[in-house]
Structure 1
Amino acid sequence: MTQYQYTVKNVKGERKNGQLKANSQREAYGLLREKQYRVLSLTEVPETIWTKDLSFKQSVKQKDFVIYLRQFSTLLKAGITIVDATNILAKQTNSKVLQKTLYEIQESLQQGNALSEVYEQYPHIFKKLFTNMIRAGEASGTIADTLERLADYYEKQLRTKQKVMAAMTYPAVIAIITTFVVFFLLLFVVPTFVNMFNDLNATLPTITIWVLTASKWIQQDWWIILLLVIITVSGLLLIKKQPKGAYLLDAILLKIPIFGTLFQKAAISRMTSTLASLFASSVPILEAIEITEKVVGNEVVAKVLHEGKTSLERGDSLAEPMEQHWVIPPLVTQMIAIGEKTGSLESLLTKVSTFYENEVEAVAEQLKSLIEPVMIVLLAGVVGFVVLAIMIPMFDMFNQIH
């Protein structure tokens, strides 16, 4: 939004100065006139470091967003106007961010702006995929159906994301617990036995020497560990920001044993679902591929899509470059090739998307059942190693006494 400086007169003839934010000068005039002001002057305030809005733009939870789309579609199908439907949804949504945004959208719509144009003013909430499908729905007069299709799409993406997160959460939690337990033992438990072991004047087992050395090192040089963690995380974030670095990291993720398959299937499900939704909304194929390339969430898959777009621009097949890449399974390339020949690409992509969504669920369940015992054994093994290192000299001391 743009900041505007205004000078107005109210109904009593009193002169007032102030500032307001609006998407356009026309909208700013409308907002002032709604308050029964007579506008004397209205000028745009140049953006500087002091006037720029430095607040972080909050996004809307995907669950709240899906509910909004479902309800919006239902209201439009019931014959309620877009402006009135927006007002109703703003009043009843549980999301404060979405509520504020919808009230602003309502004001813009009342100024005569198109729905897709208004959505574009809030890219942190309404992504390019969304606005393009809404624009196509406006052109074909099927906004209600488009909203319902978008709700199905985002709901499917949410389910897939939740399944992947569920599979990743358990090992992450166990790894964090293991780390904290080991650090607690080395920092607070092991040091209490050091003096006792020194008084023994006996040769300690190798395993005990390792643990005592680790405990001493962590107590004295803990900051090195913290520094290494910060450097590693910062380095990964910097690499992720570079195109080649992001591609490399995503390629590594896809090659990770066990989890790589899950990430690959989730990316394929997202790619095919996005393409199918865009085709169903009559978005041109080249534009649909370009949008999917940006939202697929994996640089390896995005590169394959880019190569597919280039192939189409040359007059060749979309499936051809995909057939030559390891990340795209043969099932996907075969279905795309058949869809291109028969003109049924949208329906086939929808079937592929559903298939891989089910595959993600199956793999996630298998991973949880496989990882749970492995992580429990790992936790027991690591903690047991530290405890054993302390107990062995204790048993030796007990045997010497008796």
Structure 2
Amino acid sequence: MDVNFQYTGKRISGQKIKGKIEADSKKEALTELEKNGLIIFGIDETKPWNKDIVLNKKVKHKDFIIFLRQYATLIHAGISISDATKTMVKQTDNYALRTALIDIDKQLDQGQALSKAAERHPKVFPTLLVNMIHAGEASGKLDEILNQMADYYEKEYENRQKVISALTYPSIVGVITIFLSMFLLVFIVPQFVSMFNSFGEDIPAFTQFVLNLSNFVGSYWWVLFVVVVLLAILYKYFMQYEAFAYRMDIIRMKFPFLGVLVHKGALVRMTQTLSTLVNSAVPILQSVEITERVVGNHVIRDVLAQSRKSLEVGESLAKPMNDHWAFTALVVQMIQIGEKTGTLDQMLAKAADFYEEEVNQLSERIKTLIEPLMIIILTVIVGSIIAAVIIPMFSLFETL
């Protein structure tokens, strides 16, 4: 893979120059520079400082979609894959994508297939795309496949953003509620403790509870912080285990109010992916296996694994789905019809479109309903803390 070198030297005319060059080795860089008639005084390897490395090791979604469409356009215009790759290397600004394309270009020059070359860069080219490229190479429709995948990733991104958008507001309000409550308990409530003690009056039970909570949070706030960090670490650790990850996906899908959105979003991803693969003439067993790996939901993945085994013994793809709560009647019926009529890709696409529209409507509905709900929760929690301090004060003023 190319390395960056920084050099200083002069031209034959005597003009001093300095610049950068990419090459496999220092020797290759020197040879290239000397070919251009340069006299090199010094050359050193440089470590690239690029915001794409520091801030975003993965390719930005927008850059990736633009790349797929431009690549497809070049191939459709009759340009060879090798020349199209060289062109994309020059046009791509994203460091991670450009680095991968430089390596792919070298692999292509050595006679390697595009799918095999792309497979060397799993962080840039997802498993699904690599398999689709392989299907495009076999069918001679690589340009159509690339455009199809650009549409797929664009839709996937939009659907994911809708789910994230619906969950963002309650998350933000929840964090504000926690911090505001902590501020009141740590800095405001303690100011009234000495005043209540000086009057020696009986304090209401709820006020005493808030005072005790304030004292605990003020003294042991760091314990709460440590507990939160430990829980986050433990969660990440246990998510590596299949049983725990499977249970967490069940909780997400059955969570009150928001679980429906997560559930339908998972079905959209599954039906879109499987439809895209089947439509591209990828064998059904391989299509199901790839969908298992990219669906991103352990519950759906487990049922797909059972469906694949069902296909292997000559039974229906829909049979295991029909017996599982995670698959709706509509999805099962669409798959059954598709299997009987030979239009599985079309039926899956219709199911994906239906649930995609449902996700749109659900996300808008949730945002509309959850905003006032979160404001009420914020008001109740913060208002209760304030009330716990103010109400006893009225009793004290009456006794004066």
In the superposition, relative to structure 1, how do residues 34 and 316 fare at CA in structure 2: closer, same or farther (>3 Å)? farther
Letter in 2 for 1:347: Q
Residue 8 of structure 1 corresponds to none
Residue 72 of structure 1 corresponds to 71
Letter in 1 for 2:166: A
Query: Aligned partners of 1:104, 1:296: CA distance in 2, in Å?
Result: 28
Letter in 1 for 2:259: G
1:106 pairs with 2:105: yes
Please give the root-mean-square deviation of Cα atoms over the aligned residues, in Å.
2.4
Residue 206 of structure 2 corresponds to 207
Residue 350 of structure 1 corresponds to 349
Q: Which moved more, 1:298-307 or 1:188-197?
A: 188-197
Residue 9 of structure 1 corresponds to none
Q: Which moved more, 1:308-317 or 1:214-223?
A: 214-223
Query: What pairs with 1:237-252 in structure 2 (closer than 5 Å)?
Result: 237-252=236-251
Letter in 2 for 1:334: Q
Kindly state the Cα deviation for residue 296 of structure 1 after the two structures are TM-superposed: 0.5
Kindly state the Cα deviation for residue 354 of structure 1 after the two structures are TM-superposed: 0.9
1:327 pairs with 2:326: yes
1:156 pairs with 2:155: yes
1:392 pairs with 2:391: yes
Letter in 1 for 2:274: L
Kindly state the Cα deviation for residue 89 of structure 1 after the two structures are TM-superposed: 2.6
Residue 365 of structure 1 corresponds to 364
Kindly state the Cα deviation for residue 274 of structure 1 after the two structures are TM-superposed: 0.4
Kindly state the Cα deviation for residue 80 of structure 1 after the two structures are TM-superposed: 2.5
Secondary structure at the aligned position of 1:326 is classed as coil
Kindly state the Cα deviation for residue 35 of structure 1 after the two structures are TM-superposed: 4.5
Query: What pairs with 1:119-158 in structure 2 (closer than 5 Å)?
Result: 119-158=118-157
Kindly state the Cα deviation for residue 21 of structure 1 after the two structures are TM-superposed: 9.8
Query: After superposition, what is the alpha-carbon deviation per residue over 1:274-310, rounded to whole angstroms, capped at 9, x for unaligned?
Result: 0011112211111110110011111000011000000
Secondary structure at the aligned position of 1:337 is classed as helix
Residue 48 of structure 1 corresponds to none
Residue 88 of structure 1 corresponds to 87
TM-score normalised by L of structure 2: 0.85
Kindly state the Cα deviation for residue 91 of structure 1 after the two structures are TM-superposed: 3.0
1:192 pairs with 2:191: yes
TM-score normalised by L of structure 1: 0.85
Letter in 2 for 1:356: Y
Kindly state the Cα deviation for residue 122 of structure 1 after the two structures are TM-superposed: 0.2
1:233 pairs with 2:232: yes
Kindly state the Cα deviation for residue 393 of structure 1 after the two structures are TM-superposed: 2.0
Q: Which moved more, 1:96-105 or 1:279-288?
A: 96-105
Do 2:82 and 2:108's aligned partners in 1 also have CA atoms closer than 8 Å?
yes
Query: After superposition, what is the alpha-carbon deviation per residue over 1:6-54, rounded to whole angstroms, capped at 9, x for unaligned?
Result: xxxxxxxxxxxxxx998xxxxx9xx7898499xxxxxxxxxxxxxxxxx
1:301 pairs with 2:300: yes
Do 2:335 and 2:344's aligned partners in 1 also have CA atoms closer than 8 Å?
yes
Query: Aligned partners of 2:65, 2:394: CA distance in 1, in Å?
Result: 62
Letter in 2 for 1:400: T
Secondary structure at the aligned position of 2:239 is classed as helix
Letter in 1 for 2:137: E
Kindly state the Cα deviation for residue 81 of structure 1 after the two structures are TM-superposed: 2.6
Letter in 2 for 1:153: Y
Letter in 2 for 1:300: V
Residue 287 of structure 1 corresponds to 286
Query: Aligned partners of 1:21, 1:242: CA distance in 2, in Å?
Result: 42
Do 2:268 and 2:356's aligned partners in 1 also have CA atoms closer than 8 Å?
yes
Kindly state the Cα deviation for residue 75 of structure 1 after the two structures are TM-superposed: 1.8
Query: After superposition, what is the alpha-carbon deviation per residue over 1:190-228, rounded to whole angstroms, capped at 9, x for unaligned?
Result: 112221121111111122111110111011112221222
Query: Aligned partners of 1:236, 1:73: CA distance in 2, in Å?
Result: 41
Secondary structure at the aligned position of 1:179 is classed as helix
Letter in 2 for 1:251: I
Residue 318 of structure 1 corresponds to 317
Residue 339 of structure 2 corresponds to 340
Letter in 2 for 1:78: A
Query: After superposition, what is the alpha-carbon deviation per residue over 1:140-192, rounded to whole angstroms, capped at 9, x for unaligned?
Result: 11110010011011111101100100011000000000000000111111112
Query: Aligned partners of 1:299, 1:373: CA distance in 2, in Å?
Result: 33
Query: Aligned partners of 1:94, 1:379: CA distance in 2, in Å?
Result: 45
Query: After superposition, what is the alpha-carbon deviation per residue over 1:51-110, rounded to whole angstroms, capped at 9, x for unaligned?
Result: xxxx99921122221111111111221223323322333333342322232233223323
Task: State the identity %.
Answer: 44
Query: Aligned partners of 1:187, 1:77: CA distance in 2, in Å?
Result: 65
Query: Aligned partners of 2:30, 2:307: CA distance in 1, in Å?
Result: 52
Kindly state the Cα deviation for residue 247 of structure 1 after the two structures are TM-superposed: 0.7
1:383 pairs with 2:368: no
Query: Aligned partners of 2:33, 2:379: CA distance in 1, in Å?
Result: 73
What number of residue pairs does the alignment pair up?
362
Letter in 2 for 1:151: A
Query: Aligned partners of 2:242, 2:354: CA distance in 1, in Å?
Result: 30
Secondary structure at the aligned position of 1:241 is classed as coil
Query: Aligned partners of 1:389, 1:99: CA distance in 2, in Å?
Result: 60
Do 2:274 and 2:288's aligned partners in 1 also have CA atoms closer than 8 Å?
yes
Query: Aligned partners of 2:271, 2:223: CA distance in 1, in Å?
Result: 45
Query: Aligned partners of 2:153, 2:205: CA distance in 1, in Å?
Result: 56
In the superposition, relative to structure 1, how do residues 387 and 350 fare at CA in structure 2: closer, same or farther (>3 Å)? same
Query: Aligned partners of 2:119, 2:30: CA distance in 1, in Å?
Result: 25
Secondary structure at the aligned position of 1:261 is classed as helix
Do 2:23 and 2:29's aligned partners in 1 also have CA atoms closer than 8 Å?
no
Residue 10 of structure 2 corresponds to none
Do 2:96 and 2:124's aligned partners in 1 also have CA atoms closer than 8 Å?
no
